[in-house]
Structure 1
Amino acid sequence: MTMQNVKQLPIPDFFSSEKVKNVYRVPYQQRAAEAELWAEKHDIQPAATDRKRVGLLLIDVQNTFCIPDFELFVGGASGMGAVEDNARLCEFIYRNLGSITEIIPTMDSHTAMQIFHPIFWLDEAGEHPKPATMISLSEVEQNVWKVNPDVADSLTNGNLNQLEQHALHYVQQLSNDGKYPLTIWPYHSMLGGIGHALVSAVEEAVFFHSIARKSQTNFELKGSNPLTENYSVLSPEVLDSVEGKFIAQKNVNLIQKLLDFDALIIAGQAKSHCVAWTIDNLLTEIKNIDLSLANKIYLLEDCMSPVVIPGIIDFTSQAEEAFARFAEAGMNLTKSVDDLG
């Protein structure tokens, strides 16, 4: 992966891979002072001087997905996938501090009443669906699952009929577009909660990069629209209402920003969902412009894991199929230990 003639750097002494699974307070003032000294010691220049601009897109590297015992920990095949991924990711950031121009972390951001949370739906007995339930079009048509009338006040100003029509339209659109069925997730990435925050060790590395390279971290929030899922940071799953009006829009500014980099590196969680969907959306945009743009996309496969819920569901094969398609289109499947050149 040749991007920029910058040597690989040592990893700062304060980093410990053992801490990656923990939630802790980053000592910002101390790290800022250390980052400036680090830049001076290793002749790390401000990002503004980069002749080749390299972006690092970190997808949903948040406690809710990456810390054991949190709501949607991505264990992957090993059972500790996201923790292992993030240890490698932190080391990648520190080693390549002088090559990465800008870091863009996406933040899955939810509130309680959303179409993919249990409170939105009820069965005939008045019970909410359990997490990992998949709601099909036929189940909504047959009233196996119905909209909870008590959420209409918050979501559609009390218009239950409008909300029911939207719910049916929504699962119909997912079916028509060949997407995953509507999955009910446990409450996760709750805005204002600790699960929403970046993994502490990753936050520390990102902050260190920001100070050392004088490069503002560009946070992108997604997923707060109650009427649609938002696996991809670039576009919600469904864009329109039953009346054909927009309920959400593509993130045109971010799409353009990502494609403007000379090289774009992608890592994060989960490989089978938010990562795959984001890359798929980006590939769609690339195909509409110039397929050769795919050649400057690098996917850090050892810094991402698929959703695996033992005994319930395993999305490993879906993730592998998607990434094979990305590689066929010209994207680069790589690992964090590969030399950036």
Structure 2
Amino acid sequence: MTNAFLIIDAQVDFCHPEGALFVPGANEDIDRIARLIHQYAHQIDHIVVTLDTHQLLDIAHPQFWQNAEGKHPDLFTVISAEDVKNGLWIPRFSADKARQYIQALETDGQFQHVIWPEHCLIGSSGAALHDTLLAALKNWAHLRDQDYRAVQKGLYPLTEHFGVFQAQVPDPAVPETQFNVALASDLDRFDTIYIMGEAKSHCVANSLKQLLDFAPAMSEKLVLVTDCMSDVTGMGYLADPIYADAWTKNVRFAEAADIFV
């Protein structure tokens, strides 16, 4: 049996208490993930880490928007299609595409558009892997004589890109926002795919949903390592339908202590 780890967005801005968008519990999640890699290095055949990576002028950052007085929205402001239509919040860049995006996101019905702190800016220390995880990955790579794979997501600034495999609202003209067939195929080479990382409520949940939607035959290979992921505070309910659906599709749920016993 072959095993792959998919470690989602285990970056400083999410996983360090001083990170720009710290997810409570994420630092302990990272410790557990690192212990798994150290302890079971010879049973882990492939590791993919994803890196949430943004421009400063991202549609989910305050600087992208302003009101009639020129004020940027506060952090965690929810911007609706009605707000944009009525001029309550005005996109400062690519206005037509921004309006279309907000409407499409709302029509999809899963997530509203939230303004986040500037996070995981390209080239910043916050976009780097957490040091504890990086040390474990380097140790694994030395032991196995193979590199871990790093996959960036989120650089296209006109859509959220929670899920690893596809943007929330794909743009037909932007290939990086489309479903990442190559990444799914890479993981599908393995008998079991362990999924972990941050945040359970957003990027982990959406990555799972995208796999189940676009590659449903992979469902029985998937294991959610439940104590190696945490929710954005107060937002866990957003992903409940995704995990409930996954359960009906034979996705397995396990804690770190149980996955290699």
TM-score normalized with structure 1 length: 0.74
CA contact (8 A) 1:101 1:215 kept: no
1-side partners of 2:156 and 2:235: how far apart? 25
1:73 aligns with 2:17: no
SS at match of 2:37: helix
Shift of 1:246: 2.3
Which residue in 2 is equivalent to 1:276?
205
Which residue in 2 is equivalent to 1:86?
30
SS at match of 1:98: helix
Which residue in 2 is equivalent to 1:261?
190
Shift of 1:326: 1.1
2-side partners of 1:171 and 1:305: how far apart? 26
Residue from 124, 137, 140 that aligns with 1:209: 140
1:177 aligns with 2:108: yes
SS at match of 1:198: coil
1-side partners of 2:109 and 2:238: how far apart? 13
CA contact (8 A) 2:2 2:44 kept: yes
2-side partners of 1:193 and 1:296: how far apart? 35
1-side partners of 2:101 and 2:129: how far apart? 30
Shift of 1:339: 4.4
> Please, what is the CA RMSD of the aligned residues?
1.2
Alpha carbons of 1:143 and 1:303: their partners in 2 closer, same or farther (altered >3 Å)? same
1-side partners of 2:17 and 2:39: how far apart? 26
Identity, in percent, stands at: 34
Residue from 235, 238, 242 that aligns with 1:322: 242
Q: 1:68-217 maps to which residues of 2 (within 5 A)?
A: 68-75=17-24, 81-148=25-92, 152=93, 163-217=94-148
CA contact (8 A) 2:111 2:238 kept: no
Residue from 116, 136, 152 that aligns with 1:221: 152
1-side partners of 2:114 and 2:249: how far apart? 28
Letter in 1 for 2:7: L
Shift of 1:227: 1.1
Letter in 1 for 2:65: W
Could you tell me which runs of 5 or more consecutive residues in structure 1 were left unpaired when the two chains were aligned. Answer: 1-51, 76-80, 153-162, 309-313
SS at match of 1:55: strand
1:295 aligns with 2:223: no
Residue from 309, 326, 331 that aligns with 2:251: 331
Alpha carbons of 1:320 and 1:181: their partners in 2 closer, same or farther (altered >3 Å)? closer
CA contact (8 A) 1:118 1:184 kept: yes
Shift of 1:286: 2.5
Instruction: For residues 185-235 of structure 1, give each alpha carbon's deviation from its aligned partner in whole angstroms, at most 9, with x where no partner exists.
Output: 110001111101100010000111111011211000010001111101100
Shift of 1:239: 1.3
TM-score normalized with structure 2 length: 0.96
Could you tell me which runs of 5 or more consecutive residues in structure 2 were left unpaired when the two chains were aligned. Answer: none
2-side partners of 1:70 and 1:261: how far apart? 33
Letter in 1 for 2:255: K
Instruction: For residues 81-115 of structure 1, give each alpha carbon's deviation from its aligned partner in whole angstroms, at most 9, with x where no partner exists.
Output: 10111111111111211110011000001111111
Residue from 246, 249, 256 that aligns with 2:173: 246
CA contact (8 A) 1:54 1:99 kept: yes
CA contact (8 A) 2:110 2:238 kept: no
